[in-house]
């Protein structure tokens, strides 16, 4: 009887150890992609983004150029913000932003999102715009709850 219990215990233990740990691998992949994106210039980011959107939304050449311009503007602002955050992080006497500064930053971010949405609405057809908004919300839901995510769990 003892040997039967010992064999069952060993079997259960081996099953637990043999489980695939994919979450760790995916997290490592994401961190690698994040580091790669950090090293890209705004032009490279915009080019990659416009090509991905061209494949997903079947954009025309004219639309692709306009989307690339919009993404370039967005990537330039993102790079500037990243540089500012890095500078603040490395600054020894860095202090937390005041409530007014925080609200100002959030307003600027939301204004940028609204402007981007309006640009995309003017560039894309109704069908493409609908698909783009679905892709965007799907991407937001996938990032929900992950470290560094802007969307809070409800």
Q: What is the mean pLDDT of residues 70-78?
A: 92
Mean pLDDT computed over 120-124: 92
Question: What one-character DSSP code corresponds to residue 58?
Answer: T
Please give the average per-residue pLDDT across 105-130, as a whole number.
93
Mean pLDDT, to the nearest integer, of 58-75?
A: 93
Mean pLDDT value of segment 90-114:
86
Using an 8 Å Cβ cutoff, are 51 and 63 in contact? no
CB atoms within 10 A of CB 124: 20
Contact 123, 63 (CB under 8 A): yes
Greater confidence (11 vs 45) lies with 45
What are the residue ranges spanned by the domains of the chain? 43-124
Q: At residue 144, what are phi and psi to the nearest 5 degrees? A: -60, 125
Mean per-residue pLDDT, 121-135? 92
Query: Is residue 7 pLDDT above 60, yes or no?
Result: yes
pLDDT given for residue 2 in this prediction:
85
Whether the predicted pLDDT of 154 surpasses 50: no
pLDDT at res. 152: 47
Please give the C-alpha separations between residue 48 and each of 43, 57, 72, 77, in angstroms, as whole numbers: 9, 14, 10, 17
Q: Between 37 and 147, name the one with better pLDDT.
A: 37
| pLDDT tens per residue across span 14-61 | 887 776 555 555 555 556 666 777 788 899 999 999 999 999 999 999
Q: What is the pLDDT of residue 31?
A: 63
How does residue 71 score in pLDDT terms, banded at 50, 70 and 90?
very high
For the chain, the residue count is 154
């Amino acid at each position: 009887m003892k040997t039967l219990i010992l064999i069952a215990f060993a079997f259960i233990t081996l099953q637990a150890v043999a489980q695939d740990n994919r979450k760790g691998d995916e997290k490592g992949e994401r961190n690698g992609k994040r580091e790669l994106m950090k090293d890209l210039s705004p032009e490279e980011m915009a080019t990659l983004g416009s090509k991905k959107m061209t494949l997903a939304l079947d954009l025309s050449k004219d639309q692709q150029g306009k989307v690339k311009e919009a993404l370039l503007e967005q990537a330039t602002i993102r790079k500037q913000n990243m540089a500012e955050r890095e500078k603040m992080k490395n600054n020894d006497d860095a202090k937390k932003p005041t409530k007014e500064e925080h609200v100002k930053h959030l307003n600027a971010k939301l204004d940028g999102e609204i402007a981007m949405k309006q640009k995309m609405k003017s560039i894309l057809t109704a069908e493409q715009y609908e698909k783009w908004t679905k892709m965007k919300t799907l991407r937001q839901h996938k990032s929900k709850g992950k470290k560094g995510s802007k969307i809070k769990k409800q």
